Chain A
Amino acid sequence: MENEGVLHEKPIVLHETDHPTSHGHHKQNFIRKYIFSEDHKMISHQFVITGIIWAIIGGFFSVIFRLQLGFPDQTFPWLEDVFGHWAQGGRLDTEFYYALVTMHGTILVFFVLTAGLSGTFSNYLIPLQIGARDMASPFLNMLSYWFFFAASVVMFSSLFLTTGPASGGWTIYPPLSALRDAMDGSKAGMDYWLVSIALFIISTLLGGLNYVTTVLNMRTKGMYMTRLPLTIWSFLFTAILGVLTFPVLLSAVVLLLFDRHLGTSFYLSDIYINGKILPNEGGSPILFQHLFWFLGHPEVYIIALPAMGITSEVISTNARKPIFGYMAMVASFFAIATLSFLVWAHHMFVSGMNPFLGSFFVLFTLLIAVPSSIKVFNWLTTLWKGNISFTPAMLFAIGFVSLFISGGLTGIWLGNSALDLHLHDTYFVIAHFHLVMGVASMFGMFAGIYHWYPKMFGRFMNNTLAYIHFWVTLAGAYLIFWPMHYEGLAGMPRRYYDFSSWESFKMFQDLNAFISVVAIIVFATQFLFIFNFFYSMYKGRKVTEKNKNPWGSTTLEWTTPIHPPHGNWTSEVPEVYRWSYDYGKDGRDFIPQTEPIGSEEIQH
């Protein structure tokens, strides 16, 4: 680490008048540098690595329950070796099947696609791309990671409880999640889940407040909001959504804890379970659903927006063309963020909510398709007449657009309440959200990692492995989720352990087996990426001064040294003179943001 000389204890967060070199030169010890680090780059490394570990666990769980769905008649003795009494005789216990489904959802939604995606790239890119030396509050930023870590520890511990982790679905609807008698997962596992998510919410709030403050206050000279790369716009809106909606989930969590332990009746009424008549009266389970989805729906945009931002940046850079319709892109981010507050109850059309109320949510839900389609058309136009270089990041960005279209269009079906009457809670929903926000956002995350890896670690990843990773994953994603639409159209319900006793669904057995096999192959392929990621960190080809800006980007992060020190720039923070999308202008391949506008040049 040749740049250690310029590391300094407190990051410089003021403007470019400060000279980091004027501060004392001293080394940070191991703990301050790698563990309790306040450097946004190190924190982002922590987020991405924790995210990868969670992704392996969450993905592995899906493989296990896919074994049950694909081969319900077979036994797998090795399952008993791994899971003990949860898989006696090599067959998954029903209770454990539901625990796996629940944990898969919780882990992927919160720990991988929220913390792993937004946590990693907001942390890494915001200061580097706006020209700041660090976050507004590096200390809160560090706390944000450690609250996430604590949440992870609690959730991970719950996997080892005798009664198992939470198993009522990632949406944890009460009364199922409120009553210990309802299922084993609603015993101690549910308390762990609630505590873990409460810690996670604190982490998101600390991170989000920091991102918003940093973007609004700490841009370098000349970096007007309209000159920001779209990545930063997406992180800004993501953070605002998170800050405004996660507290509502916290209230839902706290009330549920009260119902579970203090005998309140927020969500409980008229219940007879396990031979017992409960005293609770007057509560409403539907209240919980309102509180949950008030976060739950913006949450899917919290997951999708950063992926959209990364995709915009990567597509423009590698098509060697400016992003088409920059202002329309910003406006559609704004529209999506605003409308996402007004659509939550489209998850509740058949919940017993007043149907008249439902009609408003149909309206807003279908309207949100408009800004989404604007984005797709703008990406397509950006590709048109470009000069496309298929870096691994670019492949994943194109894959993102394809998956986003496929999954987004089925949103128009599900958002229309009359169709939702038939499709609600079927495999059609599974196909829809896995394509549009699950796999698509994973693609956004892969694009981001492949694109910024040289900056993050000063080395390149192996391209051949990346190409195999991409093509297998893209084909696999479609092979897994495309046929599920048909299962959904047959009314096949999600969260079923076994379909063999159902006259209406048992004809899909062969298809389920096929899907499971593909899922296993795709999961195995991800190890190419994981191996590539960790191997290249130490053995990858080094970034040299010559190819220090390997993709020919205009943005500020590539103006830092190969291994940016704590404080990012060794000299003054560069000043910005133009927007970040001057590709192919006036016959030049690209013009960095730091280059002043020429006297003859027309501004975009």
Chain B
Amino acid sequence: METFFLIAIVVLVFIVVFQISKASEYVSILKGEEKARKQDNKINGFLMMVFLVLGLIGVWWCNDALYHKTLFSYGAASTQGKSIDNMMWITIIITGIVFFITQILLFWFSYRYQESDKRKPLYFTHSNKLEIIWTGVPTITLTILIVFGLKYWFKFTGDAPKNSQIVEITGHQFGWEFRYPGKDGILGRKNYKLIDPAKKNPLGVDWSDAASHDDIHVATTVHVVVNRPVKFVINSMDVIHDVGLPAFRLKMDAVPGTPTTEWFTPIYTTAEMKKKTGNPDFEYEIVCDQLCGKGHFSMRGIIIVETQKEYNAWMIKQRPEYRSAMAAVNSAASDQTLALEANQDKKTN
């Protein structure tokens, strides 16, 4: 019923608006078209000014209402993120100045130079001086932004420091898996053809590589140490995903068949961030940023940043995946042997 009322109201509004518009056309013919046109012109010129003033107030008001909800309000949580925020401030200031100048000029000119019988428009076709100024100034400004941008870009996408902690992260529809290299610091070889959840090998680790025997596999939540660079080696099992880390200001696609990396140095622990943001439920969330299927929006991972001590206490409780996989294989094998024996028993009987 409500829906019908709503539709009826909308249709009614349309009819009223239309009738008024149609009537205004007749009125303008009665009044004299030229006079009516000039009146419309005045109204629209005035509205240009109204729009400019309300728009500027709106920009301020929107910033007031939403700024504290952005990540800027409490700063980046990684050293890289700090640089990116700096860069962002430089860009905000430059583009902000251009924005205000050009928008104000646009609406001011529209208002100021609205049609008037007194004015003769200026026949002004070109000016090389002006053209050179507004080709040159943007070029120089943009060069500055390019230089800053590329400096940071090469720093962030270059090699991770030697002392980095390495963690492998694998995306699949719809979740994240993590693998630590264990004591030897080397991740064991993988081959996607060996993936077999039934044999407790969901990542397709090649057990014939001895380096894999101490690797530790955890799902969804990853623990890393504060103030120590961490390097993610990123894989995907099926379609393209993306490891988005808004709090650290980073992002990198997970591409099937092509491993990628991203590294950063977290500078606040999760506990510190809970205080900083005033949100007791705060978590460093891993956000999938590349459409990966119908569960895309639910592909959430968590990074727990903690002190070395807390990390050690957690790590010591983890068991290498190799052991559980071997246990699974052995029990499957013994099941098979039992079945075989039973068969043979039947035959001999």
Contact = CB atoms under 8 A, between A and B. Distances in A.
Interface in A481-495: 482-483, 486, 489-491, 493, 495
B328 to A, nearest CB: 17
B251 A350 contact: yes
B281 A387 contact: no
A493 B289 CA distance: 6
B289 A425 contact: yes
B162 interface: no
B95 interface: yes
Interface stretch (A56-64, A115-123, A270-278, A564-572): A270-278
A531 B66 CA distance: 37
Contact of B99 (A281, A386, A405, A478): A405
A350 B239 CA distance: 15
Contact of B113 (A319, A498, A499): A319
Interface in A409-451: 409-410, 412-413, 416-419, 421-422, 424-426
Interface string B122-137: 1111110011001100
Interface stretch (B41-49, B220-228, B333-341): B41-49
Contacts of A366: 142, 145-146, 149
Contact of B249 (A352, A380, A421): A421
A36 interface: no
A165 B156 CA distance: 39
A422 B250 contact: yes
B244 A425 contact: yes
A244 to B, nearest CB: 26
Nearest to A97: B294
Interface in B180-231: 192-193, 195, 197, 204
Contacts of A495: 291, 296-297
A286 B253 CA distance: 10
A380 B115 contact: no
Contact of B237 (A272, A285, A359): A272
B290 A421 contact: no
B14 A527 contact: yes
A305 B126 CA distance: 21
Contacts of A386: 109, 113, 121-122
A584 B123 contact: yes
Given A352-B260, A380-B106, A418 B40 contact: no
Interface string B67-109: 1011110000000010110011001001100110011011101
Interface stretch (A9-17, A187-195, A501-509): A501-509
A321 B282 contact: no
A111 B193 CA distance: 42
Given A285-B257, A405-B103, A464 B131 contact: no
B285 A352 contact: no
B74 to A, nearest CB: 11
A471 interface: yes
A350 B253 contact: yes
B85 to A, nearest CB: 9
B168 interface: no
A84 B155 CA distance: 52
Contact of A326 (B126, B153, B258): B126
Contacts of A374: 131, 134-135, 138
B72 to A, nearest CB: 6
Interface stretch (A133-141, A169-177, A200-208, A227-235): A169-177
B48 to A, nearest CB: 8
A107 interface: no
Contacts of B157: 355, 358
Contacts of B288: 493
A418 B102 contact: no
Contact of B66 (A95, A268, A511): A511
Contacts of B127: 324-325
A218 interface: no
Nearest to A383: B109
Main secondary structure of the interface of B (DSSP, over half): helix
Interface string A447-474: 0000000000000001111011001001
Nearest to B45: A390
B175 interface: no
Interface in A351-376: 351-352, 355, 358-359, 362-363, 366-367, 369-370, 373-374, 376
B123 A424 contact: no
Contact of A406 (B99, B121, B172): B99
A154 B70 CA distance: 43
Given A386-B113, A463-B25, A401 B106 contact: yes
Given A269-B256, A362-B150, A501-B300, A395 B291 contact: no
Interface residues of B, number: 121
A214 B68 CA distance: 56
B116 interface: yes
Contact of B87 (A419, A467, A474): A419
A410 B152 CA distance: 19
B121 A387 contact: yes
Interface residues on A, range: 35 or more
A474 B51 contact: yes
B246 interface: yes
A419 B81 CA distance: 10
Contacts of A424: 251, 289
A527 B14 CA distance: 9
A161 interface: no
Contacts of A531: 14, 18
Given A370-B138, A413-B95, A504-B246, A324 B116 contact: no
A502 B249 contact: no
B32 interface: no
Contacts of A405: 98-99, 102-103, 106
Nearest to B190: A270
Contacts of A490: 69-71, 246
Contact of B146 (A175, A416, A462): A416
Contacts of B146: 362-363, 366, 416
Contacts of B161: none
A249 B292 CA distance: 22
A472 to B, nearest CB: 11
Contact of B244 (A167, A328, A390, A493): A493
Nearest to B67: A486
Contact of B106 (A281, A363, A398, A504): A398
A508 B65 CA distance: 11
A94 B291 CA distance: 12
B291 A173 contact: yes
Given A78-B3, A417-B150, 7 more contacts: A98-B296, A369-B142, A388-B115, A418-B83, A418-B152, A468-B21, A499-B297
Interface of A: 78, 94-95, 98, 167-169, 173, 175-176, 179, 182-184, 268-273, 275, 277, 281-286, 319-322, 324-328, 350-352, 355, 358-359, 362-363, 366-367, 369-370, 373-374, 376-377, 380-381, 383-390, 395, 398, 401-402, 405-406, 409-410, 412-413, 416-419, 421-422, 424-426, 462-465, 467-468, 471, 474-475, 478-479, 482-483, 486, 489-491, 493, 495-499, 501-504, 507-508, 511, 524, 527-528, 531, 541, 581, 583-587, 604
13 contacts: A94-B295, A175-B239, A175-B240, A184-B294, A284-B257, A284-B258, A325-B127, A326-B126, A367-B142, A390-B110, A421-B250, A463-B24, A495-B291
- Which 8 A/B pairs are nearest by Cβ-Cβ distance? A491-B246, A269-B257, A355-B157, A464-B21, A390-B44, A416-B149, A496-B297, A486-B66
